[in-house]
Chain A
């Protein structure tokens, strides 16, 4: 019991070399995460090593909630190749798998590095039977300086997939809105790696920007801009910077959400009275109205099969989440617990609904099993909003108020791991997790 209590108090600060700083907060005591070891990669060059691979990989794996990387001080040895591994010593520590590798400067081209890594199954290695190879994966790649960090996430993806059977989502990005009130253009749309690193500005404006939504191919963003002092929906190509106006009706043009096949946007328009849900064909500009009542309907999101749209509605009194079928037009209510529920998204496997659930005045990220109706709250802070799910369903990024500023945070789908991503400058909100990018 004491150990459980202690676990809840442990605050592990992992700092990276760049400006962003992630604080990983282990919030639950019962730890069923699988013990693994990520050994510091051996640097075979001169001077400072170019990137701390093991730190990035260990942080990635821990944040998924599925793994518990061993701290470096507790490692019996720090091998860099399968030839030097003492399987018995790692078995004794209960370690399931070990990741190790080497980084050396490319002899022919400067600014390039040869990175090798191996993933070993410790139990197989310890049994030492000739027919069973403990090497689960082994790769060698030449990467440029700018690709080093990406390649570390790539290794995390490979390890995650080998050990869980699910695709990793560490080599993905997030889009979010930042508000830097000291800037001439305070409202900014930025994109970074999923962990807040490598931030890049893609749009800045004197007027608010809202609700970024990724196209399924990861190439474009739809969003709301008030640059004309009214709401309008734009689509921006992230590679060419080309912007295209989608809708500019009187009153609200809001909450765009890209269909899984990339041909339509679900959005909110109030041109005919109340905010209603529509689908909008990007090519033909054809609108189809899906809701019709005298209260607020908003926040449309497609189910992964593309056959229905879930949305928030006040038709039953306070806001709850509903689902409308695009084939039959039939609407059903999905949520029954909590004072109000908002901002619903269905997980990529179609089994769960992630949303903002208000309980006793606190807005928390919650997940509901769509079959059983069971609701679990994942966060405990007061104002957690805008949940966006990783493309493999393992983690959720959301906005929260942290140290009296609005910032982003990650929580694993089981709620066990949380990590704050404080803003470098100003406040950040409305995160949108990209699809798989390769």
Chain B
């Protein structure tokens, strides 16, 4: 599993979790004014400090990374986005419940966010049949998320059948990796 890609996807999707919103303006005059004001304030503060008997300073808080914040809220399962399936099956194994529950919770908390569930199949069986099978897997995931309270309008299912394998091999190991649904934000 490619964690960095997943993380990137989530980071794009989750700008509200960024440490702080940086207010910037493209207006050069306003920026110059802001710098001038800041300098004046600094000068005043320095003058005040020189007169005070005690002086204080700040240190930076130890901030969590965006991933760590996500994990704190939704458990480490939120970073997993692939659900694998048995041959010719679209039943979700109980071992994926933690992952789907984490994403469901996130989507319920962030109703402005939406997700695409990509259904995929291995190379066995015809490409056209595998499109249908991939959709069945995507829908199984979609139904699970909806049962956990996610609005149907937040979910899109797209089946790519056998057209986008993650493992290009032609053996059982490759096939078991390719039978999957992927959650894409």
By a beta-carbon cutoff of 8 Å, the part of chain A in contact with chain B is 181, 187, 208, 210-211, 226, 229-231, 251-252, 254-255, 268, 270, 275, 296, 298-299, 312, 319, 340, 342-343, 356, 363, 383, 385-386, 401, 404-406, 429-430
Contact = CB atoms under 8 A, between A and B. Distances in A.
Contacts, number: 85
Contact of A296 (B116, B132, B168): B132
Contacts of A386: 126-127
A254 B158 contact: no
B159 A299 contact: no
B163 interface: yes
A298 B157 contact: no
A273 to B, nearest CB: 9
B160 A296 contact: no
B123 interface: yes
A296 B161 contact: no
B170 interface: yes
B157 A226 contact: no
A231 B158 contact: yes
Interface of B: 116, 123-129, 131-133, 135-136, 157-161, 163-164, 168-170
A429 B126 CA distance: 11
B159 A385 contact: no
B132 A208 contact: no
A296 B157 CA distance: 16
A208 B160 contact: yes
A340 B132 CA distance: 15
**Main SS of the interface on chain B?**
mixed
Contact of B136 (A296, A319, A429): A296
A387 to B, nearest CB: 9
A319 B170 contact: no
B27 to A, nearest CB: 37
Given A226-B160, A230-B158, A251-B157, A210 B131 contact: yes
Given A210-B163, A226-B160, A296-B136, A356 B126 contact: yes
Contact of B128 (A229, A254, A363): A254
Contacts of B129: 296, 298-299, 312, 319, 342-343
A299 B135 contact: no
Nearest to B165: A179
B127 A252 contact: no
B9 to A, nearest CB: 14
B176 to A, nearest CB: 15
A268 B126 CA distance: 14
Contacts of B133: 296
Given A211-B128, A268-B128, A226 B163 contact: yes
B99 to A, nearest CB: 23
A430 B158 contact: no
